[in-house]
Amino acid sequence: MPIVKDGLLYVAAGVSAGLAVFYLAGPAWASPFFLAALFTAWFFRDPRRSPPSGDDLLLSPADGRVIRVEPVNGDPEVSRGTVVSIFMSIFNVHVNRCPITGSVSDIRYHRGRFKAAFKEDAGDCNERNEVIFEKNGARVRCVQIAGLVARRIVCRLSRSEAVEAGQKYGLIKFGSRVDVYIPSIYVIAVEKGEKTRGGTTVLARMKEAVDEKEA
């Protein structure tokens, strides 16, 4: 399985340390370094994903578990919408993907603390990066939130860039969370406790499409 390029340096460091210890002290002392390199390669895995088709779909930007589905009012980008929080443990794939096809309206980075990402107030006080995706005037805000172990947020998008649903756009290293602020034109399709896969799990569907199916 391929790994993201951001992990290559960590893997190389572990292998190099293992080789050095192997020649100096023997295989028994070197094995922890090789195991650490193997785990790091697995952590930075980058599985191929095929997003489902449909202009009415809003896809999960991250692998993980839904820990919050709540209404949100007064948000500057998402009026009368819903926030879905996805917690990513160190065992999840950490590549983040675009939730919709559209463009990047804005990107905002905020310095902050490194509290455990599953704590509700982590979205307000932790280091985080906001990406505003826009499609036909509707905005979806994805917030990459650093966690207790995560100390590095990667975002490779730029303002006004055109994006496709399921497209990779960044990652958060070693445990984290992504909050997705979804406008009221969508019907939420997940519940608290569900597991998600970035770029394939449908978080929400446009109300118009849902109404047409039910009619």
In-domain check, residue 84: yes
Q: According to the model, what pLDDT value does residue 41 have?
A: 85
Find residue 204's DSSP bridge partners: 58, 188
In-domain check, residue 16: yes
User: Which residues in the chain show pLDDT less than 70?
Assistant: 1, 74-79, 112-125, 147-151, 174-175, 209-215
Whether 22 and 112 map to the same domain: the answer is: no
Whether 73 and 159 map to the same domain: the answer is: yes
- Could you say which of 53, 89, 105, 176 is catalytic? 176
Q: Which two tokens stand for residue 150?
A: 């995560």
Q: According to the model, what pLDDT value does residue 76 have?
A: 66
Whether 28 and 81 map to the same domain: the answer is: no
Whether 39 and 64 map to the same domain: the answer is: no
Whether 70 and 176 map to the same domain: the answer is: yes
Computed on alpha carbons and rounded to an integer, the radius of gyration of the chain in Å comes to 19
In-domain check, residue 49: no
Q: According to the model, what pLDDT value does residue 6 have?
A: 77
Q: According to the model, what pLDDT value does residue 52 have?
A: 94
- CB burial readout 173-209, b (16+ within 10 A) else e: bbbbbbbbbbbebbbbbbeeebebbbbebbbbbbeee
Cα separations in angstroms, 213 against 26, 141, 190, 205: 65, 27, 18, 11
In-domain check, residue 78: yes
In-domain check, residue 52: no
Q: Tell me the pTM.
A: 0.84
Could you tell me which residues come within 8 angstroms of residue 38 by beta carbon, excluding any fewer than 6 positions away? none
Whether 122 and 187 map to the same domain: the answer is: yes
Could you tell me which residues come within 8 angstroms of residue 109 by beta carbon, excluding any fewer than 6 positions away? 128, 129, 130, 153, 155
Whether 82 and 163 map to the same domain: the answer is: yes
CATH number for the domain harbouring residue 147: 2.70.70
Whether 16 and 122 map to the same domain: the answer is: no
Our answer to whether residue 16 is catalytic in this structure is no
In-domain check, residue 133: yes
* DSSP 8-state assignment for residue 7: G
Whether 33 and 64 map to the same domain: the answer is: no
Whether 151 and 193 map to the same domain: the answer is: yes
Q: pLDDT per residue over 47-64, tens digit each? A: 899 999 888 999 999 999
Bridge-based pairing state of the strands 168-172 and 128-135: unpaired
Domain ranges, residue 178: 57-214
- Per the structure, the count of domains in the chain is 2
Q: How far is CA 156 from the centre of its chain?
A: 13
Q: How far is CA 117 from the centre of its chain?
A: 12
Q: According to the model, what pLDDT value does residue 84 have?
A: 96
Whether 106 and 173 map to the same domain: the answer is: yes
Whether 13 and 80 map to the same domain: the answer is: no
